């Protein structure tokens, strides 16, 4: 017969898994404002200049770094963007991605493949 202390330490009761995109507060997307638009260089085997935004989530004072997917962008300071979770493996500390063709971030011009990621309508 198990003791009470053994019943309290039930291994079947597990902790809830924490979200990797905690600063979105359990939401799939959040609206943010651009504070600074700049480029970052990736980790060791890769080399390029990735476009990145320092942004602040509206209604919260959370500041995060957000990657802009695709070629070219039209973002400036004080632009509004939609942010989703998603880690960028070759950029250190970037856990969020901007969604194209929402708010101030336009879609990629002349994109024919993988259009849904880059916010392009069917031609």
Q: What would the pLDDT profile of 27-49 be if each residue is shown by its tens digit?
A: 999 999 999 999 999 999 999 99
Closest CA to 69 of 112, 91, 98, 89: 98
What is residue 62's three-state secondary structure?
coil
Is residue 15 predicted with pLDDT exceeding 70?
Answer: no
- Return the structure tokens found at 101: 């063709």
Cα–Cα distances (Å) from 51 to 2, 109, 114, in that order, read 59, 16, 19
pTM value is 0.84
Is residue 12 predicted with pLDDT exceeding 70?
Answer: no
What are the chain's domains?
26-105 (2.40.50.140)
The count of other CB atoms within 10 Å of the CB of residue 87 is 13
């Amino acid at each position: 017969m198990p003791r009470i202390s053994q019943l309290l330490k039930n291994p079947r009761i597990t902790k809830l898994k924490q979200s990797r995109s905690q600063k979105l507060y359990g939401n799939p997307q959040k609206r943010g404002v651009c504070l600074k638009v700049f480029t970052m260089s990736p980790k060791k085997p890769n080399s390029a200049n990735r476009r990145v935004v320092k942004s602040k989530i509206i209604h919260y004072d959370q500041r995060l770094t957000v990657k802009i997917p695709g070629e070219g962008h039209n973002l400036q300071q004080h632009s509004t963007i939609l942010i989703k979770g998603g880690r960028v493996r070759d950029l250190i500390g970037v856990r969020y991605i901007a969604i194209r063709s929402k708010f101030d971030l336009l879609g990629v011009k002349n994109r024919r493949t993988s259009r849904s990621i880059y916010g392009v309508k069917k031609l």
